[in-house]
A and B are shown apart, each in its own frame.
Chain A
Amino acid sequence: MSKITNEDLLNDIKAKFDSDVANISEPFGLLTLETSREKIIDLLTFLKTDAALQFIFLTDITAIHYPEAEKQIGIIYHLHSLVNNIRIRIKVFVADGDVKMPTATVLWNGANWMERETYDFFGVVFEGHPDLRRVLNVDDMTVFPMRKEYPLEDPNRVDKRDYFFGR
Chain B
Amino acid sequence: MQNHPVFTDNDPQTEYSTLNLGPTHPATHGVFQNVLTLDGERIVSGVSTIGYIHRAFEKIAEHRPFYQITPLTDRLNYCSSPINNMGWHMTVEKLLGIKMPKRVDYMRIIIMELARITDHIICNGVLGVDTGAFTGFLYMMKYREDVYEIYEEICGSRLTTNIGRIGGFERNFNHIAFGKIRKFLKEFPPALKEFEALFNRNRIFVDRTRDVAAVTAEDALSYSWSGPLLRAAGVDYDVRAMEPYSSYEEFDFEVPVGSNGDVYNRFLVRNEEMWQSLRLIEQALTKLEKEPSDIFHADVPEFYLPPKEEVYNNMEALIYHFKIVMGEIDTPHTEVYHAVEGANGELGFYLVNDGGRSPYRLHFRRPSFINYQMYAPMSRGMLISDAIINMSSLNIIAGELDA
Contact = CB atoms under 8 A, between A and B. Distances in A.
Contact of A114 (B59, B360, B370, B377): B370
Nearest to A120: B51
Given A57-B221, A152-B63, A62 B350 contact: yes
Given A76-B350, A136-B50, A145-B59, A32 B335 contact: yes
A121 to B, nearest CB: 8
B22 interface: no
Main DSSP-derived SS at the B contact region: mixed
A57 B224 contact: yes
A136 B51 contact: yes
B224 A78 contact: no
A136 B54 contact: yes
Given A57-B224, A152-B63, A166-B327, A78 B337 contact: yes
Contacts of B337: 28, 30, 78, 87, 89
B208 interface: no
Interface string A151-165: 010000000000001
B221 A56 contact: yes
Contact of B237 (A82, A109, A166): A82
Contacts of B243: 1, 85
Interface in A69-94: 76, 78, 82, 85, 87, 89
Contacts of A109: 219, 222-223, 373-374, 377
Contacts of B237: 57, 82
Given A152-B63, A166-B326, A82 B50 contact: no
A46 interface: no
Nearest to B322: A166
Interface in B349-372: 350, 352, 356-357, 360-361, 363, 365, 369-370, 372
Interface string A133-154: 0111110000001100010100
A87 B242 CA distance: 11
A46 B237 CA distance: 22
A127 to B, nearest CB: 20
A107 to B, nearest CB: 9
A60 B365 contact: yes
A165 B243 CA distance: 37
Interface string B26-64: 000000000000000000000000110010101110110
Which of under 10, 10 to 19, 20 to 34, or 35 or more describes the interface residues of B? 35 or more
Interface string B297-329: 000000000000000000000000000001110
A167 B50 contact: no
A112 B348 contact: no
Contacts of B334: 27-28
A158 B177 CA distance: 45
A27 B94 CA distance: 11
A65 B62 CA distance: 12
Given A146-B58, A167-B357, A113 B326 contact: no
Nearest to B346: A59
Interface residues of A, number: 40
Contacts of A87: 337
Contacts of A65: 361
Contacts of A134: 51
A91 to B, nearest CB: 10
Contacts of B94: 28
B400 to A, nearest CB: 12
A134 B237 CA distance: 31
A13 interface: no
A110 B226 CA distance: 11
Residue from A85, A110, A111, A150 with most neighbouring chain B CB atoms (10 Å)? A110
Interface string B231-242: 000010100001
Residue from B219, B339, B377 with most neighbouring chain A CB atoms (10 Å)? B339
A76 B351 CA distance: 12
Nearest to A116: B373
B272 interface: no
A135 B350 contact: no
5 shortest A-B CB distances, which residue pairs? A110-B224, A136-B51, A113-B373, A166-B326, A110-B223
Given A57-B237, A60-B370, A82-B242, 13 more contacts: A60-B350, A62-B363, A64-B352, A78-B337, A78-B348, A82-B237, A85-B243, A108-B222, A134-B51, A135-B50, A146-B58, A166-B328, A167-B356
Interface of A: 1, 27-28, 30, 32, 56-60, 62, 64-65, 76, 78, 82, 85, 87, 89, 108-114, 117, 121, 134-138, 145-146, 150, 152, 165-167
24 contacts: A27-B334, A57-B237, A58-B224, A62-B363, A76-B350, A82-B221, A82-B235, A87-B337, A108-B223, A108-B224, A109-B223, A109-B374, A110-B223, A110-B225, A110-B370, A113-B370, A114-B224, A114-B370, A117-B369, A136-B402, A152-B56, A165-B327, A166-B326, A167-B356
Interface of B: 50-51, 54, 56, 58-60, 62-63, 94, 219, 221-225, 235, 237, 242-243, 326-328, 334-337, 339, 346, 348, 350, 352, 356-357, 360-361, 363, 365, 369-370, 372-374, 377, 402-403
